[in-house]
Amino acid sequence: MYWYLKVLKQYADFNGRARRKEYWMFILFNIIFSAAAAVLDTIFGTWGAIGGLYAVLMLIPGLAVGARRLHDTGRSGWMLLIALIPIIGAIWLIILFVGDSAPGSNEYGANPKNQ
């Protein structure tokens, strides 16, 4: 939960680097909370309003942590746009997100593993 809250505190911060653990823990909690929102939508019969609101609220933090994760691998945050290429773009982004951090400092800052 610490990593999820850390990303929310850096709501629209596209600068710096994010470790693999920070990114994937944010994704894990996003999946859990999205499933909970879907259950609430079913219980209350709101036809996806709660889940949709949650998705809209998490759009900017998700993009920000994705850009910081790409920075950690030594790539520009603009690489997120590769997701616009059907199927292959999403697969390529997953490969980039799973990759290890660039060793040492890079143009985006110091390696967060060493801090």
pTM over 0.85: yes
Q: Where are the alpha helices (DSSP H) in the chain?
A: 2-9, 20-44, 49-72, 88-98
Residues 6+ apart with CB under 8 A from 57: none
Q: What is the maximum alpha-carbon separation in the chain?
A: 51
Q: Report phi then psi at 11, rounded to 5.
A: -40, -55
**Per-residue confidence in pLDDT tens, the chain, 115 aa:** 899 999 999 999 999 999 999 999 999 999 999 999 999 999 999 999 999 999 999 999 999 999 999 999 999 999 999 999 999 999 999 999 999 998 888 999 988 887 6
Q: Report the C-alpha gap between 43 and 103 in whole angstroms.
A: 48
For the chain, domain boundaries = 2-114
